Amino acid sequence: MTLNSAIYAGHVLHVRSRPKKHSLRYSVFSLLVDLDEIEELNGRMRLFGYNRAALYSVHDVDHGNGRPGELRNWVEERLSAAGLKATDWKIRMLCYPRILGYVFNPLTVYFCYRADGALEAVLYEVCNTFNERHTYVIPVKADGGAILRHRCAKEMYVSPFMPMNCEYNFRISPPSDDVAINIGENDPEGPLLFATFSGRRRPLSDKGLLHMVLKYPLMTLKVMGGIHWEALKLWWKGVPIYRHKPAAARIASTIVVQNGMNKS
């Protein structure tokens, strides 16, 4: 059986342009998990688990509304709220897995396809280190082409070194042989930060995951450690700090209409 689920191995790159220049590059991998296949993967793989302990695992508590067994329903409810009424959605989630029970996902991307295979919407689920989560639900234009371009106003505090009055500009190459997630963050004065993940597809199997153990040991710990290490370097450079203001709701979502404006 050919799986839609896969491993995407590549790297993350961040480039900050103001008020101090700063860049980073880390080797990482993400899993693309087809929600129709996740129970099968859980049953047939030794190194992957769904809502259970395993070397690599995906847990509903880390995504959506955080309630076990409700991830698909939560995504479909967001799509319905955006006016997308298709049935039999094909939902594929690009995320970091838990490794030995630990993960931090700055961004999870859900690619939502109709039964005929047409990509209908993308959900961008942003998490911060304060255990808050905000998802931007953006329909895909029928004539959008192979590269998706989305924008929306920033609705949740993410980094102490980035102001809130910003806009996200997404440029996405959906998963195929490769995947690319490019994000530009702008404030009223112009571009502040460019971030990207690009990866090459590999089969999702126990053998493939074992290879990831050897190539990317303790990756999720490295992600969190890297966040704090880069924050220390930004502080040392004198980049201004913006204090965290708790979100009105720990888990929230925003529907983004076609012209890029947000609505609750």
pLDDT in tens, 37-93: 999 999 999 999 999 999 999 999 999 999 999 999 999 999 999 999 877 899 999
Going by pLDDT thresholds of 50, 70 and 90, the confidence category of residue 166 is very high
Task: Compute and round to an integer the Cα radius of gyration of the chain.
Answer: 18
Residue 54 forms part of a structural domain:
yes
Full residue range of the structural domain in which residue 85 is found: 6-263
Residue 170 forms part of a structural domain:
yes
Instruction: State pLDDT tens for residues 91-150.
Output: 999 999 999 999 999 999 999 999 999 999 999 999 999 999 999 999 998 766 789 999
Q: Choose among 215, 220, 132, 148: nearest CA to 181.
A: 148
- Tokens 């030794």 correspond to 46
What's the number of domains the chain is made of?
A: 1
pTM: 0.94
Q: Choose among 239, 222, 242, 103: nearest CA to 165.
A: 242
* CA dist., res. 113 & res. 130, Å (int): 31
Residue 76 forms part of a structural domain:
yes
Residue 1 forms part of a structural domain:
no
Residue 99 forms part of a structural domain:
yes
Helix (H, G, I), strand (E, B) or coil at 193: strand
Residue 227 forms part of a structural domain:
yes
What is the helix (H) or strand (E) element at residue 230, kind and residue range?
helix 219-237
Residue 243 forms part of a structural domain:
yes
Residue 161 forms part of a structural domain:
yes
